[in-house]
Amino acid sequence: DEEVYNYYADGEWKKSASGKFVSIINPTTRTPQYKVQACTQEEVNKVMDAAKAAQKLWARTPLWKRAELLHKAAAILKEHKNPIAECLVKEIAKPAKDAVTEVVRSGDLVSYTAEDGVRILGEGKLLVSDSFPGNERSKYCLSSKIPLGVVLAIPPFNYPVNLAVSKIAPALIAGNALVLKPPTQGAVAALHMIHCFHLAGFPKGLISCVTGKGSEIGDFLTMHPGVNCISFTGGDTGIVISKKAGMIPLQMELGGKDACIVLEDADLDLVAANIVKGGYSYSGQRCTAVKVVLIMESVADAVVEKVKAKMAKLTIGPPEENCDITPVVSESSANFVEGLVMDAKQKGATFCQEYRREGNLIWPLLLDQVRPDMRIAWEEPFGPVLPVIRISSVEEGIHHCNASNFGLQGCVFTRDINKAIMISDAMETGTVQINSAPARGPDHFPFQGLKDSGIGSQGITNSINMMTKIKSTVINLP
Ligand code: G3P
């Protein structure tokens, strides 16, 4: 029987009064692995009340003490990297080594946030009035950063630990309370991560983690009057949330269709290595994965051959064996990927490998000669399938990239730095990587999407600032 996990509220692990559970299906075995509580709206209300009360005291806790607790949580998290990583392997089929890396990266992120927070929040501003026309030097304005209140964090399945702490740590260091709604796949890893914060000794009610069905508590959470900020990473649901949310700051990181533009003068071995890493790591289930390759016709055959050779070396199988390609997160996800592949087949794409699927495991596939009338030219598979579109000019590549609804990241490969900068300027994406595949990290870099890819900017410093407001006190001299 699957193990049952409680939710976290008021500094305790609790069973929901609903008596109901949400099952977590192991993507590899396709059988139930864990069960989490299906929390009720009433339980959410209680969590919000407790968060509000705890936040008031927390905001008055000295900054250095808040930082100290975060450093402690980071150390505990790293100490428990193995059991947490095991959950990631079982719940989201993340390759074993990557699962450990995710937890370690998370510990580092929490520590860095604590350090960055004491610097950023430890500084205020003093303005004097006589710089504005008509004023004497009679007003002194003191401004500093204050917390927003209760931050609701909703991370996605692909980084249930890392993309949770990237919201939790900035919220807490800035003096906010935090309510986490983990994704169903990854909820148990997230609960373990929360346990590390529990062990560090944060005040009761300041941090809570509610699990449950989106249909029951999803809208209820995101539209809850007790929420003062939402930080969400995931898919289209983010667009729905932003339409329903109240007048509160939103941080959204949604999908991407990150393009990789390859110029004729590029280092083709470097290109191939980055296409394989960028396109197929964690089986393409990253919002920053390379999702379309736009390549100059004259070098296309050579690059496709090099990519094929590298793909042939990828290992395919269970995450426990640390295979490169592991089952995608769910059957519906695998079916969606298959739908894109079949559409491309019907419309005449060139298959560089045979399409193969067993359960949720999809063999890595490169589709050449993809044309704009194919769904895969525009849609995000979130699976190990990558389209190649051959272009006859750089402008054509930029045009395809900018015609997308998404605008997360993109990359360009060339040895000509002037061209690279010009292309970067022309690409309507939050980040452009020159001579490397897209990536969010290092985690203190700004990370943002344009258009349907998001609202606001993340990265440690930006997240801390986003989770605060400016408060001024003006001293008026007689
Ligand atoms: O898919 C989530 C996104 O934040 C990716 O992060 O580190 O894989 O570039 P990363």
Model pLDDT, residue 24 = 98
Residue 272 has pLDDT above 80, yes or no: yes
> pTM above the 0.95 mark?
yes
- Looking at this protein, which amino acid is placed at residue 147? P
pLDDT for 454 beyond 90: yes
Tens digit of pLDDT for each residue in 150-166? 999 999 999 999 999 99
Its sign, for the CA torsion 152, 7, 115, 408, is: negative
Mean pLDDT confidence for 95-107 = 98
| Residues forming beta bridges with residue 195, ordered by sequence position | none
3-state helix, strand, coil in the chain (%, to 5): 40, 25, 35
Pocket lining: 285 vs ligand 1, CB cutoff 6 Å: no
Question: At a CB cut-off of 8 Å and minimum separation 6, what does 53 contact?
Answer: 205
441-460: b (≥16 Cβ within 10 Å) or e: eebeeebbbbebbbbbbbbb
Of the chain, the percentage scoring pLDDT greater than 90 comes to: 100
User: Do 246 and 225 contact (CB within 8 A), yes or no?
Assistant: yes
pLDDT value at residue 295: 98
Identity (one letter) of the amino acid at 466? M
Produce one character per residue of 5-31: b if its CB has 16 or more CB atoms within 10 Å, e if not. Answer: bebbbbbebbebebeebbebbbbbeee
pLDDT over 80 (residue 309): yes
- C-alpha 78/C-alpha 193 separation (Å) is 10
Ligand 1 and 287: CB distance under 6 A: yes
55 C-alpha vs ligand 1 centroid, how far in Å?
30
Residues 77/110, Cβ–Cβ less than 8 Å: yes
Place of tokens 């719940």: 91
Catalytic residue among 91, 102, 253, 379: 253
287 given a catalytic annotation: yes
- The DSSP bridge pattern shows strands 177-180 and 207-209 to be parallel
Mutate to test the pocket of ligand 1, among 154, 166, 287 (most ligand atoms within 8 A of CB): 287
Determine the pLDDT at residue 27.
98
Q: Give the tens place of pLDDT for each residue, 395-447.
A: 999 999 999 999 999 999 999 999 999 999 999 999 999 999 999 999 999 99
The more confidently predicted of residues 347 and 2 is: 347
Q: What is the pLDDT at residue 209?
A: 99
**pLDDT for residue 273 is more than 80:** yes
Average pLDDT, the chain: 98
Ligand 1 centre distance from Cα of residue 41 (Å): 31
pLDDT at 174 over 90: yes
Flag whether pLDDT at 1 surpasses 80.
no
Phi, psi of 204 (to 5 degrees): -60, 135
Residue 268: its pLDDT value, please? 98
Q: Which of 231, 295, 275 is nearest to 433 (CA)?
A: 275
- Exposure pattern of 359-397 as b/e (b: 16+ CB <10 Å)? ebbbbbbbbbbbeeebbbbbbbbbbbbbbbbbbeebebb
Pick the catalytic residue from 209, 287, 323, 401: 287
Q: Is 115 a catalytic residue?
A: no
pLDDT in the model for residue 7:
98
For ligand 1, whether the C-beta of 286 sits within 6 Å is yes
